[in-house]
Amino acid sequence: MTQTPVAPARPGDEEASESLSGGRIRRVAPRRSTVAAYVALTKPRIIELLLVTTLPAMVLAAGGLPEWWVVVATMLGGTAAAGSANALNCYVDRDIDALMRRTGHRPLARHEVSPRGALVFGIVLGVLAVGVMGVVTNWLAAGLTAAAIAFYVVVYTMVLKRRTAQNIVWGGAAGCMPVLIGWSAVTGSLAWAPVVLFGVVFFWTPPHFWALAIRYREDYARAGVPMLPVVAAPQRVAREIVVYSYVTVAVSLLLWPLATGWVYGVLAGGAGLALLAGAHRLQAGTRRGANAKAAMQLFHLSNSYLAFVFVAVAVDTFVR
């Protein structure tokens, strides 16, 4: 009997068992508890990155630490809002999630949560998020919170994702909203500084996500999702990643003369050089016909880059 190698278990699947099926070894992950399955619907790792961009924006808006209750309400509201958008995304995408190796472990794909349960859960989280933001902070922040959820679920997931290779370019705007929400929660208004921070996340999103899509290109192709790495030549994808990376770094440095000092400029500039080096390394690997490893390196590097730039915003504010 020929055995087909199986992929290593995902984090959290340490107790996975193996069973024989049709001459192949199939790794069967243990079912999660109901609570754990609902938590998984919210995609906690994505929420962490969103909150990393929210708090520094609040610190910059306040010129230091905002009122503690504003921070708590915004963090809780932001967590619920992101969890709502992610759960509703899982509900809408449950058909293609089951086809993709990267998303096959999600609760709806594994039938750990019913579609109706996921839908109700996502809506309730969204209502709670908007209510908390409106009552505790202000209704501008609440309105932006509602807009972020609606944009991610309707514009990105339902309209753009399966129709255009530019899906993540425009749909990624939803992930930029936390900086506007955090700023408005503190000040009750908007200004140019949070708009620049919005731009940093906006231009950062394509190279970040396209790097991941390079690694999982076959997944997206199987599911019929026209991510750029699926429909365009690798050389074009790498070139666009480099261009967007340069624009990301340039926009990040606009914040230096606008609202920050030399500490931010130095830290953001150094992080930008690292991001550009990763993008060019991916482009060089593409020319050699081997870019999967460089793509995942850039994906992880881009996570660190965004977190570092926003931490630099807070550090600079406290130093000044």
Q: Given 137, 168, 187, which residue is the final one in a domain?
A: 187
In a domain, 103, yes or no: yes
- pLDDT band of residue 26 (cuts 50, 70, 90) is very low
For 311, residues 6+ apart whose C-beta sits below 8 A from its C-beta are 52, 56
In a domain, 23, yes or no: no
Q: Given 141, 158, 187, which residue is the final one in a domain?
A: 187
Q: Is there a single domain that holds both residue 198 and residue 217?
A: yes
Question: Bigger pLDDT: 165 or 4?
Answer: 165
Q: Is there a single domain that holds both residue 46 and residue 177?
A: yes
In a domain, 13, yes or no: no
Residue 315 predicted with pLDDT over 80: yes
In a domain, 3, yes or no: no
Q: Is there a single domain that holds both residue 182 and residue 230?
A: no
pLDDT in tens, 193-252: 999 999 999 999 999 999 999 999 999 999 999 999 999 999 999 999 999 999 999 999
Q: Is there a single domain that holds both residue 183 and residue 39?
A: yes
Our count of domains for the chain comes to: 2
In a domain, 284, yes or no: yes
Phi, psi of 191 (to 5 degrees): -155, 180
- pLDDT band of residue 30 (cuts 50, 70, 90) is low
Tell me which residue of 242, 245, 263, 278 sits closest to 312, measured CA to CA: 263
CB 26 within 8 A of CB 66: no
Which pLDDT does position 22 carry in this prediction?
A: 35
Tell me which residue of 109, 81, 107 sits closest to 95, measured CA to CA: 109
Question: What is the CATH classification number for the domain harbouring 64?
Answer: 1.10.357.140
Inter-axis angle of helices 44-62 and 192-215, nearest 10: 160
Residue 4 predicted with pLDDT over 70: no
pLDDT average, residue stretch 91-111: 94
Q: Given 137, 157, 187, which residue is the final one in a domain?
A: 187
In a domain, 43, yes or no: yes
Q: Is there a single domain that holds both residue 174 and residue 236?
A: no
Residue 182 predicted with pLDDT over 60: yes
- The Cβ of residue 2 has, within 10 Å, a number of other Cβ atoms equal to 5
Q: Is there a single domain that holds both residue 263 and residue 211?
A: yes
Tell me which residue of 151, 130, 135, 119 sits closest to 81, measured CA to CA: 130
The residue range of the domain holding 84 is 34-187
Q: What is the pTM of this model?
A: 0.89
Q: Is there a single domain that holds both residue 202 and residue 176?
A: no
Q: Is there a single domain that holds both residue 163 and residue 197?
A: no
Question: What is the CATH classification number for the domain harbouring 260?
Answer: 1.20.120
- The Cβ of residue 237 has, within 10 Å, a number of other Cβ atoms equal to 28
Which pLDDT does position 29 carry in this prediction?
A: 52
Q: Which amino acid makes up residue 296? A: M
In a domain, 240, yes or no: yes
Q: Is there a single domain that holds both residue 243 and residue 156?
A: no
Cα distance between residue 309 and residue 247, in whole Å: 15
Which pLDDT does position 6 carry in this prediction?
A: 31
Q: Is there a single domain that holds both residue 174 and residue 232?
A: no
pLDDT in tens, 133-174: 999 999 999 999 999 999 999 999 999 999 999 999 999 999
Q: Is there a single domain that holds both residue 182 and residue 200?
A: no
pLDDT in tens, 43-81: 998 888 888 999 999 999 999 999 999 999 999 999 999
Tell me which residue of 155, 193, 191 sits closest to 173, measured CA to CA: 155
Q: Is there a single domain that holds both residue 142 and residue 223?
A: no
pLDDT in tens, 257-301: 999 999 999 999 999 999 999 999 999 999 887 788 899 999 999
In a domain, 14, yes or no: no
Q: In degrees, to the nearest 5, what angle opens at C-alpha 46 toward C-alphas 235 and 146?
A: 110
Residue 191 predicted with pLDDT over 70: yes
